Amino acid sequence: MNALEVSNVNPAPDTARPACEVVVVGSLNMDLVTRTPRLPQPGETLTGRGFSITQGGKGANQAVALARLGASVAMIGCVGDDDYGREMLANLAREGIDHRGVRIEHGCPTGIAAITVDDTSQNSIIVVPGSNHALTQADIEPFDTLLRDARLLVCQLEVPLETVRFALQAARRHGCTTLLNAAPILPLDDALLAMVDWLVVNEIEAAALAGQAVGTPDEALAAITPLRARGCGDVLITLGAQGTVAAFGDELRHFEAQKVAAIDTTGAGDTFVGGFGAALAQGATVEAAIRLGQAAAAIAVTRAGAQTAMPYRHEFANQTDSDRKS
């Protein structure tokens, strides 16, 4: 066993380490990215313009975005016993993310995502979960103290739903704020949504959960009522270039997006979650947290890739301590 393997077989938590502000329970994938002039039609073969292999997965993406934007982060997940898995672990270490909770599943490949990006920056993605589907509550239980001491739990839906449910239950038991990015969309029961303090969805996910069309800010505003009726707390609906609709407390607002020349939207939603979550965990106002999420995503879409495009906190010179709650 190499050093990476030894350090990632669910060792007992090191109580000497400081508590992390954010715990991410989620997926780790290797992204196989092809660039083409346009997205292919069914049965069509296109000649691509470029190909790259980079670290991804919604869980790992959000962990990296959170860390780069100022939060101390721990991640719980599962990779395969292969080169992709070992590179994923090395990448988390490079980003300063506590990855003791990322287990190696022997005999199972690391998850991958086949991504095609066209010249208008639109993308299509096929995810093969691999080791992500091996993540169970048994992988979370040894790290209960991380959730006890954290300020925010961040989950997505690229790992088994029952594992997400267990993580939300554990966080709520400890009074830790919960954020669910309900992507990729799955049928969700109201009992699970009732454990979510912050539901973050795009227009497709919002439409599926609300049972009505969501394509414009007005439609997103109208979807807030049925979403909240299902039990979740506060809601953020991201609409890309049309901005973000937010319902928090008694507030219902539309935050316009920054205007940028996008070249690749891959990972933009994960970057938004990272900026929003990092600011929220560090005591910023909701408005400031949304602004940081939007600003980070606006930078990310002007760069190629997912994690490779995510900005660092020092790139936001105009964000000051005045954004924090008094």
In this prediction, residue 211 carries a pLDDT of 97
- CA neighbor of 139 nearest in space, from 21, 29, 11, 17: 11
The pTM assigned to this predicted structure is: 0.89
List pLDDT tens digits, range 4-19.
232 333 334 444 445 7
Kindly state whether residue 319 falls inside one of the protein's structural domains. no
Kindly state whether residue 317 falls inside one of the protein's structural domains. no
Q: Name the catalytic one among 149, 270, 321, 323.
A: 270
- Position 200: which residue type? V
- CATH of residue 184: 3.40.1190.20
Q: Is 270 a catalytic residue?
A: yes
Q: How far apart are CA 213 and CA 215, in angstroms?
A: 6
Give, for 35, the enclosing helix (H) or strand (E).
strand 29-35
Q: How far apart are CA 6 and CA 15, in angstroms?
A: 18
In this prediction, residue 9 carries a pLDDT of 34
Q: How far apart are CA 160 and CA 157, in angstroms?
A: 7
Percentage with pLDDT > 90 across the chain: 81
Kindly state whether residue 324 falls inside one of the protein's structural domains. no
Give, for 25, the enclosing helix (H) or strand (E).
strand 22-25
* Total count of domains within the chain: 1
Kindly state whether residue 246 falls inside one of the protein's structural domains. yes
Lowest mean pLDDT among 17-26, 63-72, 81-90: 17-26
In this prediction, residue 263 carries a pLDDT of 85
Question: What mean pLDDT, rounded, does the chain reach?
Answer: 91
Average pLDDT over residues 280-301: 96
Is the separation of the CB atoms in 159 and 181 below 8 Å? no
List pLDDT tens digits, range 81-108.
999 999 999 999 999 999 999 999 999 9
In terms of Cβ atoms closer than 10 Å to its own Cβ (0-12, 13-18, 19+), residue 128 is middle
Domain with 168, as residue range(s), is 3-41+48-311
Eight-class DSSP state of 306: S
